[in-house]
């Protein structure tokens, strides 16, 4: 009997796959047998990541894509179907933000961050869901953030967008799960990427926006990737519409 963790024969799209969580996710999915399509705006990191993954044995291809552009989202799906004939897994990881005082966000900055972090999830999900529903099976995994639960004035549009991702995950699950497409999300706590470290150093006092956790450290990208693999595989076949907050555990007062 095949392992429920195996992704052999499946095709996965991972957005924002050139660096960080996206790159780690593409690698973990490939290690479990998936053909991976790495999407993102910067061709250089995508090609480098695809080359490194392909050297391990699985097939990996880079498709430069701006996920804020509806036409490019549809083009990505069409390109994958044209090359591989199927889409089994979509990981909506592309996103990001910056930090500044609450009242200093311009309207355009607000809209740009919502477009990148929320609109992109809807645009690509609605395109990829069509072949998944036709096949009667698929998995969509959205990367959200702990900022969706925390009241962080310096990250207002980002937190609002990620809260929207959590809700959209439930809405998509309600509509797509009866057609065989499971949709789940991961709300990511502080993870060791260059962007997080730089932003934290520039704008934040220690503990002000990223509270200490029980583990006592920030996470590693692969620790998020393993959870993505769970939601993408048949190991989570009875799970849809959920947002899992991975944050190192709550930090209580005092000790044992």
Residue 188 in contact with residue 148, Cβ under 8 Å? no
Q: What is the pTM of this model?
A: 0.93
pLDDT of the residue at 208: 44
Active-site residue flag, 203: no
198 in a structural domain: yes
The residue from 158, 203, 226, 238 that is catalytic is: 158
CATH of the domain at 69: 3.40.50.720
- pLDDT at site 196: 58
Write out the residue range of the structural domain in which residue 216 sits: 11-246
**Best CA proximity match to 12, nearest among 71, 73, 77:** 77
Residue 225 placed within a domain: yes
Tens-binned pLDDT, residue by residue, of the chain (256 aa): 789 999 999 999 999 999 999 999 999 999 999 999 999 999 999 999 999 999 988 899 999 999 999 999 999 999 999 999 999 999 999 999 999 999 999 999 999 999 999 999 999 999 999 999 999 999 999 999 999 999 999 999 999 999 999 999 999 999 999 999 999 999 999 998 866 555 554 544 444 444 578 898 899 999 999 999 999 999 999 999 999 999 999 877 655 5
pLDDT of residue 211: 53
Q: Considering the domain boundaries, does residue 256 fall inside one?
A: no
Split into its structural domains, the chain has a count of 1
Exposure class string for 6-42: b at 16+ Cβ within 10 A, else e: ebeebbbbbbbbbbbbbbbbbbbbbbbbbbbbbbbbe
Residue 255 lies in a domain: no
In a domain, 254, yes or no: no
- As a whole number of angstroms, the distance between CA 34 and CA 234 comes to 13
Asked if the structure places residue 6 within a domain, the reply is: no
Does a structural domain hold residue 251? no
Q: Is residue 3 part of a domain?
A: no
């Amino acid at each position: 009997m095949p392992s429920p963790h195996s992704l052999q024969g499946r095709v996965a799209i991972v957005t924002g796959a050139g660096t960080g969580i996206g790159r780690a996710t593409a690698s973990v999915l490939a290690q479990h047998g998936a053909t991976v399509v790495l999407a993102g705006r910067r061709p250089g990191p995508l090609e480098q990541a695809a080359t490194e993954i392909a050297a391990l044995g699985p097939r990996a291809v880079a498709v430069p894509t701006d996920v804020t552009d509806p036409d490019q989202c549809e083009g990505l799906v069409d390109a994958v179907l044209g090359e591989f004939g199927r889409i089994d897994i979509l990981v909506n990881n592309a996103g990001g933000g910056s930090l500044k005082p609450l009242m200093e966000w311009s309207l355009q900055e607000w809209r740009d961050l919502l477009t990148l972090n929320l609109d992109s999830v809807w645009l690509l999900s609605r395109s990829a869901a069509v072949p998944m529903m036709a096949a009667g099976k698929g998995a969509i995994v959205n990367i959200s953030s702990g900022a969706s639960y925390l009241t962080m004035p310096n990250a207002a549009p980002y937190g609002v967008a990620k809260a929207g991702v959590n809700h959209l995950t439930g809405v998509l699950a309600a509509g797509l799960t009866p057609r065989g497409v499971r949709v789940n999300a991961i709300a990511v706590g502080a993870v060791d990427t260059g962007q997080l470290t730089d932003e934290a150093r520039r704008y934040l006092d220690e503990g002000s926006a990223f509270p200490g956790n029980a583990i006592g450290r920030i996470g590693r990208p692969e620790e998020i990737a393993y959870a993505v693999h769970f939601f993408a595989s048949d190991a989570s076949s009875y799970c849809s519409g959920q947002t899992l907050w991975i944050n190192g555990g709550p930090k209580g007062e005092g000790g044992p």
